[in-house]
Amino acid sequence: MSDDRSEQLLEAYRATAYRADVGGTTVELRIGEPADDLSDRTGGQSGIAWAFISAANPGSEQLPQEVNLSRHQSLEAELAGRGFDVFSGWGVPDGDDWEPEVSLLVLGIERDDAVAIGRRFDQVAIVCGRTGGVAELVRCLAEAD
């Protein structure tokens, strides 16, 4: 992946709202901003690790919806099988040049583990953080460095 392509992708990820349904309430996360909505939904407890991960569109190459849904189900099964609290979500771009991407908000997952899962599903980057902190864009694939 070229440096220009990598930077364009990272900028697009920064211009995305990461939304999840947590207990019937929509939580919205934004890169570089406090994860206040999530902190409110987890009882204000600080320091809980979380990640927002997708299995869709590996390498940011758009795939057919049915392929993305199959990949999503595999990700969901893996995370649920490992005992994580998982919530349905969508990465919703600010612009209209990319479709919202089915994703999962995962509570209790440490950053290194989340990045490893992102790599396994060929994701360029994921979003990580801790309650009481800010949402961070974290690169997964080496070619995004």
Predicted TM-score of the model (pTM): 0.91
pLDDT in tens, 5-63: 878 888 989 999 999 999 888 999 999 999 887 877 777 677 899 999 999 999 999 99
pLDDT of 1 reads 58
pLDDT of 96 reads 83
Contact 100, 90 (CB under 8 A): yes
pLDDT of 41 reads 75
Burial call 8-40: b when 16+ CB within 10 Å, e when fewer: ebbebbeebebbbebeeeebbbbbeeebebbbe
Beta bridge partners of 22: 25
First-to-final CA distance of the chain: 10
Q: How confident is the model at residue 82 (pLDDT cuts 50, 70, 90)?
A: very high
Q: Which residues contact 32 (CB under 8 A, 6 or more apart)?
A: 14, 134, 135, 136
Q: Which residues contact 76 (CB under 8 A, 6 or more apart)?
A: 86, 104
The domain limits of the chain are: 3-144
Q: How confident is the model at residue 2 (pLDDT cuts 50, 70, 90)?
A: low
Q: Residue 145: pLDDT above 60?
A: no
Average pLDDT, the chain: 90
In the structure encoding, which two tokens stand for residue 123, read together?
Answer: 């994701």
